[in-house]
Structure 1
Amino acid sequence: MATITFHGAAQEVTGSCHLIESEALGRILLDCGMHQGGDVVSRLQDEDFPFNPTNIDAVILSHAHMDHSGMLPKLVHQGFAGPIYCTHATADLLDIMLRDSAGLYERDLERENLKLKRQGKKLVKPEYTMDDVEQTLQQCIGLDYGEQHDVGPGARLMMHDAGHILGSSIVELTLTERELNKTLVFSGDLGKRDAVLMNDPSLVRKADIVLMESTYGDREHKTKLDTLNELQSILSETWQRGGNVMIPAFAVGRTQELLFYLGCLHQQGKLDNWQIFLDSPMAIEVTRVYEKWVDLLAEEDIARLNLKHKLPLEEFLPNLFLSVTPEDSMAINRIARGAIVIAGSGMCNGGRIRHHFKQRIWNRNNTLIFVGFQARGTLGRILIDGAKNIKLFGEPYVVKARIETLGGFSAHAGQSGLVNWIGHFKPRPKVVLVHGEPRAQQALAERLWKEQQLRVTIPTNGDSLVF
């Protein structure tokens, strides 16, 4: 008998964390992610683990995005000493992302403590340090897709390509208790079919229980061609207005996909004379990791890029400039028109994109393009919901830039993709929807019942179920 308890991404999109307990497995976490939105210093203080980290035997990590991995250093800081199983590519991405996140956290904490010191208040102790990040990385054990690995006295792990970002995995766990086998499949974040650079999500066909994401359970995505045409139209209109374009982009996955699309437009002679700035040191590093693991990417798109061992961005997209230093970033502010600025963070809660908002969001000639999901409570979600006034660095700003959303860039499967993927399981497993907001989950549940007579469970935070 095994129990799953949901400690995050339950009727919400971020903070993925599910605890599995069984004789065959011990106590293992599926993901250990951070909730997105709000101030990171306050968030890390407020997010306590509802279990003792020293009692966790291992973590199985579906992929490197922070809403799935961001709490690992805090888990280690509080005593977790077990292995962290993930793909080799995910381990490489974690090396970049956790260090970057820790650096931002340390800077924010330093500013917060300086303010508290001036007010004569008690200082905030760090929830984790860079040493904890180093230890976290040492605990990672990289696996190949399709490789079987023992993770408990009666448990085997196999990872399959989820097609979401580089290294992303569908987790398959087989537990043997009292000579009976039970299989749990955790979708992680499922990619969409025909996504740029990524392979289609692997089809797993047998399980007793499936934990399936449901981020876009209530909508579909546009095709590659429709997305490319829509992007070209938005850029052309902004060019005619004499404006600039700001794109908050996730460093992993979305940025590389966006560069591919821009390169395609350039190759077709449809990009005008835009200057393109990748203003994210982390995204630049991540792009080099994509180069390293090019064999894991979709063959068709790699052939289109004429790749052998690396992404030749300078040839494919010659108007691309890589902004590494703060001085490089600030120099972009001197460009009055014709700049496409791709900068982190993807949900606008930090990073360099907020500095570009400060310079340009009040100008009606400019355009802000969202190419990824914006969680509740984030600045990105506030802007998509139509806010006309926002605060940046403590100062009020009016929002006059045009706001556009390109859903076709999503790295998640749409509703039909999710329905198709789960439909390959025979016989029908018990299905639990995670990683989605209630409206999306309910819409997906209704379609699954209508088309497949499949009843699903939608847990709330803290719920447990036995399988």
Structure 2
Amino acid sequence: MKVTVFGAAGAVTGSCHLVEAAGKRLLLDCGMIQGSKVEEAKNALPFDFDVKSIDAVILSHAHIDHCGRLPVLAQYGYHGPIYTHRATADLLPVMLEDAASLAEMDAERRNRFHKDGHNHHKPLFTRHDVGQVVRQLERLDYRKPLTLFPGVTVTLQDAGHILGSASVRIVTEDAGETRTLVFSGDIGPLNTPILADPDPFPSADLVLMESTYGGRLHRERAATVQEMGEIFDAAWKAGGNILIPAFAVGRSQELLYWFAKHYEDWNLGRWRIFMDSPMASKVIEVYDRHEELFDDDAKVMFHGKPHPFHLPNLKYTTDVEDSKAINEHNGGCIIIAGSGMCNGGRIRHHLRHNLGSAKNHILFVGYQSVGTLGRLLVDGIDSVKLFGDDIKIKAHRHTIGGLSAHTDQAGLLEWYGAYSGHPRIALVHGEDDARKACALALKMRFDVDAQIPAYAETLSV
């Protein structure tokens, strides 16, 4: 068996890995590259492998950096099966249709400013392409092995990252030899609200593991919860708004869980709470259909009051005019909106109206990739230009690490430590500093030499 890393090598987006074994070629994920305009332009480039030779795709979860180039793959001629967990299959159309809509609007906007015919911009993919991908989906359950081809068996287990997220095991038998590859997908922390804990496999010959936070430890969740309560109180006393850039899948739902759990503690009844994301509203419908995947605490909470998705002062805004109306409120609003890295979506309009006032607070509750507006804000940029306006940033900025959907270095080591014999390991889906730090920690803890593959590097299994 061989695996070639065609994405997320030295970066946390663009997950894509080619597996060759038993005469078959499988693709693990086909994600969108996110970050600067230069990086995102790579999404339109041809793939560095023969698309028509792919026999099957296996998708770990529905975040766009893992699934976002599937429609492009279809454009290049892949019309075979895409195997994924059934909850991911329900989330995927929501994610991809939103991405297609944004791409179509962006192309239309660009063409409006270039009417000479020399700059005809096309969207990366359309809703028609998304329909093709949806028709290719094959739904799987956790812990139920499936033989894809003679000598090739795939099993999914819960990665605890978002609803339907999976770690993937591929077992191949070829010429009397059995080999096992495990791809971690994105691994969530233990005791994440709503979700079950990550469920590692018992053994492998090679583990391909994410390392997003391979170089750091998260704050204790209790300290994070206390900090959020303090921020809400300070913002209320100042008469300000709170903006939370959040991914529509996972983080938005977890935030509402915490709001329900601490509704009284944080005195949230005094706020107007807006979920300003059409996509997040659709995602919540999918969560409601998959309560069997919730952990025990969530099952209890979702049958009590207040219900996380139906707080008494929570408003879902899907209409553009309703979204604009939010910015007529100069204080007293908690606004959750995408995109999670501030590179697009409605959050940019809210930032435009709120960054210039010291009474407002911005909470970053997820990873901010290099080159994104979110990362620039986290790193302390003094001013920003949004929709033609130069804005001097006065709003308070907070990074709430304890709510990450990715586990930290300690969690990664614990997940890997469950594998018998401490098998070979290669680190992907992390910036190089994080990968190096994680490799050092693995060496010190388990005396293993983790590989740090470069783009297009092939590993033997």
TM-score (norm 1): 0.95
Match of 2:440 among 423, 433, 446: 446
Q: Which residue pairs with 2:17 in the alignment?
A: 18
- SS in structure 2 at match of 1:116: coil
- Describe the superposition over 1:142-182 as per-residue Cα deviations: whole angstroms up to 9, x where unpaired: 10001111122310000000000000001011000112111
Aligned with 1:313 (options 309, 312, 316) = 309
Match of 1:334 in 2: 328
SS in structure 2 opposite 1:64? coil
Name 2:354's counterpart in structure 1.
360
Deviation per residue, 1:99-136 (Å, 9 max, x gap): 1110110010111122222x442312444322111010
Q: 1:334 to 1:32 in 2, by over 3 A?
A: same
Matched, 1:258 2:255: yes
Q: Is residue 244–residue 338 contact of structure 1 (8 Å, CA) maintained in 2?
A: yes
Q: Secondary structure at the match of 1:157?
A: strand
1:381 aligns with 2:375: yes
2:278 maps to which residue?
Answer: 281
Is 2:83 the partner of 1:81? no
**Residues 344 and 350 in structure 1, CA contact (< 8 A), matched pair in contact too:** yes
Q: 2:172 aligns with which of 175, 197, 213?
A: 175
Query: Cα distance, 1:223 vs. partner?
Result: 2.8
Distance 1:387 1:269 in 2: 30
Alpha-carbon offset, residue 311 of structure 1: 5.5
Q: How far is 1:44 from its partner?
A: 5.8
Structure 2 counterpart SS, 1:19: strand
CA contact (8 A) 1:174 1:184 kept: yes
Match of 2:319 in 1: 325
Structure 1, residues 256-281: CA drift from partner, whole Å, max 9, x if none? 00011111221436336111000001
Distance 1:323 1:60, change over 3 A: same
Residue in 1 that maps onto 2:410 = 416
CA RMSD of aligned residues (A): 1.8
- Deviations 1:4-54 (Å, cap 9, x if unpaired)? 111111111110000111225x11110000011234996266433101211
Alignment match, 1:95 = 93
The alignment partner of 1:266 has SS state of coil
Select between 169-178 and 216-225 the one with higher mean Cα deviation: 216-225
Q: Superposition pairs for residues 238-249 of structure 1, below 5 Å?
A: 238-249=235-246
Listed as ranges, the gaps of 5+ residues in structure 1 are none
Mapped partners of 2:239, 2:333: distance in 1: 10
TM-score of the two chains, using structure 2 as the length reference? 0.97
Q: Distance in 2 between matches of 1:47 and 1:216?
A: 28
CA contact (8 A) 1:44 1:127 kept: no
Q: C-alpha displacement at 1:57, in angstroms?
A: 1.1
CA contact (8 A) 1:41 1:109 kept: no
What residue is the counterpart of 1:151 in the other structure? 148
* Matching residue within 447, 452, 455 for 1:458: 452
| Corresponding residue for residue 428 of structure 2 | 434
Contact 2:167/2:184, CA 8 A, preserved across alignment: yes
Write the letter of the residue equivalent to 1:155.
V
Percent identical pairs in the alignment equals 46
The letter for the 1-side match of 2:268 is L
- Secondary structure in 1 aligned to 2:327? helix
Report the residue type matching 2:103 in the other structure. Answer: Y
Q: Per the alignment, in what secondary structure is the counterpart of residue 366 of structure 2?
A: coil
Q: How many residues align?
A: 461
| Kept in 1: contact 2:18–2:27 (CA 8 A) | yes
Deviates more, 1:252-261 or 1:149-158: 149-158
- 1:199 matched to which residue of 2? 196
Which residue identity lines up with residue 110 of structure 2 in the other structure? E
- Confirm or deny: 8 A CA contact 2:94 2:282 kept in the other structure: yes
Question: Aligned partners of 2:308 and 2:195: how far apart in 1?
Answer: 18
